Structure 1
Amino acid sequence: MPIYEYTCSACGKPSEVMHKVSEQPGDCPHCGAPALVKQISAAGFRLAGSGWYETDFKTGNKHNLAEGSADSAPACAPEGCGSAGCAVNADG
């Protein structure tokens, strides 16, 4: 079940309520008033780490299917190559 964030329009206190999508949130846990208003917040889901898709869902030697990937691209000179997407130029 998802956790939703609400603010009570009667007492003004925020609260988190876990309920089904099809259910109503119920009354405010602080004051008991049926005045909860749903807040918009960021989801608690983040894809982090190195290669979460590459290493987790592909099998065998199918680690990089794209032609001309970053691993096979020629390296820039230490002072940069002058191209718009050069990482060395972006740092300086």
Structure 2
Amino acid sequence: MPIYEYQCKACGHQMEALQRMSDAPLTDCPECNKAELSKKISAAGFRLKGGGWYETDFKTGSKKNLAGDAAKPAGKSGSSEAKAS
């Protein structure tokens, strides 16, 4: 779910809200209780919640990090991939 940023036009309070894309925008400010919240234009953030998300899910070819790669030192694994490409 995306994280949206809001700002109150009345008191200037800024906040973030975790909402579905289909949810209506928030209007009531939690600080001053006025219906003056407006959604800010920003890069929408999101979080991957729950089990089942792995770093290899969206990688292809030699870019996948497998369980056996964890034993290798971090400095050497990146340089060997760069030479192979």
Taking structure 1 as the reference length, what is the TM-score of the superposition?
Answer: 0.46
Higher relative contact order (CA 8 A, sep 6+): 2
Name the one with the larger helix percent. 2
Q: Which has the higher strand share?
A: 2
